Amino acid sequence: MSSYNSPLPVGSAEGTGAYATAIADTVGVANNNGNRTDSAGNVAPDFVWGNFPMQPNDERTDGTAVVAVAVDANQNYDWAGYSNYPSARLNPALSNHAIAEAEWANYPSFAAAAGNYKVTAASGNGTTVTYTAQNSLAAGESVNITGLTASAYNLSAATVATANALSFTVTNAANAGEITGQWYGKVESTTAASAYDGAGIAFIMVPSVLGKTTALALDALKDAGYEAASITTASGATNTAVQITTVNATTTTAATLTIAGGTTAWPVGTKVTITAGTGIPAALVGTFSVTGGSGSTIIVSGTGFTVANSGAITPGATLKGTVGTIKTQSTAAAAASVATTATITVTPWAA
C-alpha cells in the first residue's frame, strides 16, 4: 500500500518538514479505549514511513484555512521560505481523492468509510428539501446535513429521495426559503457501502462490550465500525442485591458462587460487586468479572483466593451488578455480517 504525495490538504500531516508537521498534525488525546485521536477526537492513522496518506475533509474550514508550501526544493530543508494557499475540499470524482475521503485506519490495512460533500445552497417547499452539492449519493442512502445557516435544513438520518452529480433531495417538511453562498454546509453519508468498492465498511463482527463502562462500550462499538447514530443506551437495568449461599474457590484465581439467578441474572462477561459478609473470604470482596456458571451459580475470576468450600452461608454477603457497567447488548458478541448502520442498544446496571 503506497501513500500519496499530493498537494497538502489542510488538517493533515502528509507534508514533510517541521513547519508542515506543526501546522497540520495537532494531536489530541487517546479515547477511552486507548486509541490515539486527532484534535477533533477522530482515531488517528498509525505511523506511516514517509508521507502520510491524504486525510479526509472532516476538519477543514473552507475559506479561512490554509496550507503551507515551500517556494522551492532547497527551502524544503528548513522551511525558510514558504507560501500559504487557501484550502479546498477533496474532489470525490478523482480516484485518489475518493480514497482519501474514505479515510485510512490501522496502516497498512485500508479501512474505507462513507464520504462527505460540501453543501453550497438549499431550498424547501414544505414537502421536499433540495440541496446543491457535488456528490455521488444515490436514492435510498441515509445522510446527515450540518453547518447550514438555516437550521431547519440541518437534518439527521435523512433518506435521499433523488440525487444527481450536482444536487440531491430529501422528503422533509422544512421550509426556510432558499439559502445560498453556504461555506460550512456538509452532507455526510451514513449508509455504508460494500468494502470492496472503496466506499465503506458494510459489515462488521460485533465486539463484546459486556462489563465495560458505558463510555468504553460506546468507544468499542464505534471503533469496530458501528455508526454513532445507531448506538443507543437504555435506562439502567434493575440491580437488586442478592445473598450468596455458598462459595467454592476451586483455584486461587476462580471461585464458584451459588446464588439465585446465576448467569441468567449476571451473564458471562458482566462485572459484579461483592460486599463483605459471613463466610466470604476477604479476597472475594470487590469487583470481579463473571467467566462462567449456570442458572444457579456464577464463576468469578480474581487473584489470591484460598482454595476452600465455605459450605452453606446463612446469611451471607450480597452481590450486585457493578453500577454503570454494561449488562446486556442487543446484538450478541461475535455476531458476523452485521450492517454498520444496524441499531444496537446497550444496557448498563443501575445503582
Q: Looking at the domain assignment, is residue 97 inside a domain?
A: no
Partners of 249 in the β-ladder: 255, 308
Task: Report the 10 Å Cβ neighbour count for 151.
Answer: 10
DSSP result, 103-159: ---STTS------EEEE-EEEE-SSEEEEE------TT-EEEEE--SSGGG--SSEE
Q: Could you tell me the pLDDT band of residue 41, with boundaries at 50, 70 and 90?
A: low
Residues 252 and 278 reside in one and the same domain: yes
Looking at the structure, do residues 132 and 62 belong to the same domain, yes or no? Answer: no
Query: What pLDDT is stored for residue 129 in this prediction?
Result: 97
Give the domain CATH number at 153.
2.40.30
Burial of residue 282 (CB within 10 Å: 0-12, 13-18, 19+) is exposed
Q: What's the number of domains the chain is made of?
A: 4
Question: How crowded is residue 10: how many other Cβ atoms within 10 Å of its Cβ?
Answer: 22
- The verdict on whether omega for the bond into residue 281 sits within 30 degrees of 0, i.e. cis, is no
1 assigned to some structural domain: no
Residue 243: which of 280, 210, 293, 270 has the closest Cα?
280
Q: What is the pLDDT of residues 252-300, one digit of tens each?
A: 999 999 999 999 999 999 999 999 988 888 999 999 999 999 999 999 9
Q: What is the grid cell recorded at 4?
A: 500519496
Give domain status of residue 34, yes or no.
Answer: yes
Evaluate whether residue 155 is within a structural domain.
yes
Residue 110: inside a domain, yes or no? no
Of the two residues 71 and 142, the one the predictor is more confident about is 142
Residue 47 inside a domain? The answer is yes
* Highest mean pLDDT pick, 46-55, 99-108, 135-144: 135-144
The share of the chain scoring above pLDDT 70, in percent, equals 64
Which residue matches cell numbers 446464588? 259
- DSSP line for 172-218: -------B---SSEEEEE-S---GGGTS---EEPPPP-TTSBHHHHH
The answer to whether residue 45 sits within a structural domain is: yes
Work out whether strand 242-249 and strand 254-259 pair parallel, antiparallel, or are unpaired: antiparallel
Cell of 316: 451471607
Distances (CA, A) of 332 to 104, 206, 305, 327, 329: 28, 7, 31, 12, 6
Q: Confirm whether 98 is domain-assigned.
A: no
Q: The domain containing residue 264 runs over which residues?
A: 242-322
Q: Are 309 and 244 a contacting pair, CB within 8 Å?
A: no
Q: Is the pLDDT of residue 304 over 70?
A: yes
* Residues 342, 216 within the same domain: yes
